[in-house]
Amino acid sequence: MTTTIRFILGDQLSRDISSLADIGGDDVVLMCEVAEEAGYVPHHKKKIALVFSAMRHFAEELRRSDIRVDYRDYDESLASFTEALRDAVERHGADRVVVTEAAEYRVLEMQKDWARDLCVEVELRPDDRFIATQREFADWADGRKELRMEFFYREMRRKTGHLIAADGGPEGGDWNFDKDNREALPDNIAIPERPTYTVDDTTREVLDLVEARFADHPGDLERFTYPVTRRQALHYLNWFVDEALPCFGTYQDAMRQGEALLFHSHLSALINCGLLGARECCERAEAAYRDGEAPLNAVEGFIRQIIGWREFIRGIYWHQMPGYGARNALEAKRDLPDFFWTGDTQMNCLRQSITETLENAYAHHIQRLMVIGNFALLAGLDPKQVQDWYLAIYHDAYEWVEMPNVVGMILYADAGLVASKPYAASGAYIHRMSDYCENCRFAVTKKNGPKACPFNYLYWDFIGRNRERFAGNRRMGMIDRTLQRMSDDKRDAIRDDAARFFRALSKGEV
Ligand SMILES: Cc1cc2nc3c(=O)[nH]c(=O)nc-3n(C[C@H](O)[C@H](O)[C@H](O)COP(=O)(O)OP(=O)(O)OC[C@H]3O[C@@H](n4cnc5c(N)ncnc54)[C@H](O)[C@@H]3O)c2cc1C
Ligand code: SF4
């Protein structure tokens, strides 16, 4: 009798994953917590706990369906996926392996070698949980001068039929309602309280394991209340759609001190590890719109994030790999400041965003993009170090999604492949969208001098430093002309302030 191993990776926790499609009674599902994956960057403790706990619960669910599962708990001697599979093939006398293609280039390359290295038949199946295939993205991208999410998104709307009106056009007459999604939070608005999930015995074992084996990783395991099962994940999705989605669009860009989640879905980690499907999240949101329970700007905004941004980002990753992670178009080389690991900085917006990140392994998009990312861009931080930080610290971070967001969206290190211009902003933007500046030792209205908000002079210093690199960019040209119209004294003050700031930064004094 022959045995087939169905190998499920930690971000493939979906019952409808292609590798389980035709599972037979004698097949064995292999799942393992391997040292290389848990430790190749110092992942946040809550991130490791979430993935291991979700994996163990998924394995229990399979067993309850009478599926044979070979689950290998974390053990430093189980070095890599390849070693774990070699061992399982021997133990089960298997001659065939079925596996869904890994989401990351590095692991896919490993998978491609398994047939040769392990002398078994390996069937690699596409990951059809994504809406666009890699081929579709490549066909769309080839021959285009610029790859812009907005046009790709329209293709995805047509493909899925989401928010398509009876006449075949976009629901509400527009493809994109982002212009309605930039409001600051009113003072008196109530933020909905999140459901929390009790730590069961399985999760308790994982928390103890992470505490013992990953003690030197960032973050802590306090208040670990996130969903870890399919049932909890669905409950969380339903809660989001009922309670937070109606305001999601309008306040999507807002930030408030002490409020980490606001109206965001907090679903990315659940979608990325497979407990929720991207399609079902969009279907649920669209149903709320059709039932009159959520407005179009919210539902379109949410669906755009998933079938637009998420798919576009994945398309860019595979289109550009290998080599994308090494891009550094702005030749940025400053070391990542220590405060990224402690939150210990006097710049309140950064302190809040990083502290919340360290506490929750989460920050919402505008904190990642316009506070932390904006700082990394203006300060010229080394792209590789910034990538490693984002990959380690967020519970939803996998290379395929982290890398294009960092290299392309925040650092402009791909010279404009993802973003038509750098997402650079002065303190005025942060002031408009948050209450952070009210509690900061710097003055957002001051442009220069020791009390001035550093984002104000760093912004102009960044424009000046990179003016030759931006010479061909029409939108950046307009900004550069404003800089050139400033007096010599003003431009000198900007340079001096930036130099003083960077000296202090290098001494850890910011
Ligand atoms: C520098 C940087 C790094 C990022 N790294 C990651 C990462 O490692 N993993 C990750 O899933 N997202 C990443 N994002 C995208 C986005 O910030 C997160 O998906 C989002 O903050 C997750 O919170 P949420 O579930 O509450 O999202 P919501 O605001 O509720 O959005 C809904 C969903 O849309 C999807 N989404 C939205 N924006 C993006 C985007 N730019 N790329 C991909 N998916 C998107 C996510 O699945 C998210 O759950 C990054 C963004 C930036 C600027
Ligand atoms: S003043 Fe500047 S540094 Fe301080 S919170 Fe506002 S934007 Fe951030």
Segment 99-153, tens digit of pLDDT: 999 999 999 999 999 999 999 999 999 999 999 999 999 999 998 988 999 999 9
| 268 touches ligand 1 (CB under 6 Å) | yes
Do 120 and 138 fall within a single domain?
no
Centre a 10 Å sphere on the Cβ of residue 174 and count the other Cβ atoms it contains. Answer: 14
Helices (H), 192-310: 201-213, 230-239, 245-248, 268-273, 278-290, 296-303
Mutational pocket test of ligand 2: of 345, 348, 350, the residue with most ligand atoms within 8 Å of the beta carbon: 348
User: Domain limits at 71?
Assistant: 4-125
Stretch (H or E) spanning 112: helix 105-118
Residue 480 lies in a domain: yes
CA gap 427, 433 in Å, rounded: 10
Domain holding 259: CATH number? 1.25.40.80
Pairwise CA distance, residues 19 & 12, whole Å: 9
Average pLDDT, stretch 268-284? Answer: 98
User: Is residue 328 in some structural domain?
Assistant: no
Same domain, yes or no: 283 and 178: yes
Q: Which of 270, 291, 320 is the last residue of a domain?
A: 320
Closest CA to 397 of 110, 7, 44: 44
Q: Which protein residue's CA is at the shortest distance from atom 8 of ligand 2? A: 349
Q: Are residues 312 and 358 in the same domain?
A: no
pLDDT score recorded for residue 42: 97
Distances (CA, A) of 172 to 54, 77, 164, 182, 453: 39, 57, 9, 19, 41
Instruction: Assess contact for 28 and 69: CB atoms under 8 A.
Output: yes
Nearest ligand, CA 459: 2
**Looking at the domain assignment, is residue 448 inside a domain?**
yes
Per-residue confidence (pLDDT) for residue 472, from 0 to 100 = 87
Work out the angle at residue 179's Cα, subtended by the Cα atoms of residues 176 and 185, and round it to the nearest 5 degrees: 125
Ligand 2 pocket: which of 345, 370, 431 to mutate (most atoms <8 Å of CB)?
431
Task: Report CA(426)–ligand 2 centroid distance (Å).
Answer: 9
State the chain's mean pLDDT as an integer.
97
Q: Are residues 359 and 455 in the same domain?
A: yes
Q: Which of 125, 151, 169 is the last residue of a domain?
A: 125
Quick one: pLDDT at residue 251? 97
Q: Are residues 435 and 496 in the same domain?
A: yes
Asked if residue 124 lies in contact with residue 118, where contact means CB atoms within 8 angstroms, the answer is: no
Total domains in the chain come to: 3
What token pair was written down for 36?
A: 């290389």
Residue type for position 403: M
How many other CB atoms are there within 10 angstroms of residue 508's CB atom? Answer: 11
Q: Whose CA is nearest to atom 46 of ligand 1?
A: 268
Q: Which atom of ligand 1 is nearest to the CA of 267?
A: 25
Same domain, residue pair 352 and 487: yes
Q: Are 484 and 385 contained in the same domain? A: yes
Q: What is the pTM of this model?
A: 0.98
pLDDT over 80 at 1, yes or no: no
**DSSP H or E run through 6:** strand 4-7
Residue nearest to atom 22 of ligand 1 (CA): 268
368 lines ligand 1 (CB under 6 A): yes
329 in any annotated domain: no
Query: Which pLDDT band holds residue 2 (cuts at 50, 70, 90)?
Result: confident
Q: Could you give the count of Cα atoms lying within 13 Å of 280 in the half-sphere of its Cβ?
A: 17
Domain assignment present for residue 326? The answer is: no
User: What is the SS3 assignment for 133?
Assistant: coil
With the most atoms of ligand 2 within 8 angstroms of its CB, the residue from 255, 346, 347, 350 to mutate is 347
Last residue of some domain: 271, 289, 320?
A: 320
pLDDT at 446 over 70: yes
Share of the chain above pLDDT 70, in %: 100
Helix (H) or strand (E) holding 140: helix 134-141
Is there a single domain that holds both residue 42 and residue 189? no
The answer, yes or no, to whether any atom of ligand 1 lies below 6 A from the CB of 153, is no
Length of the chain: 510
69 and 197 share one domain: no
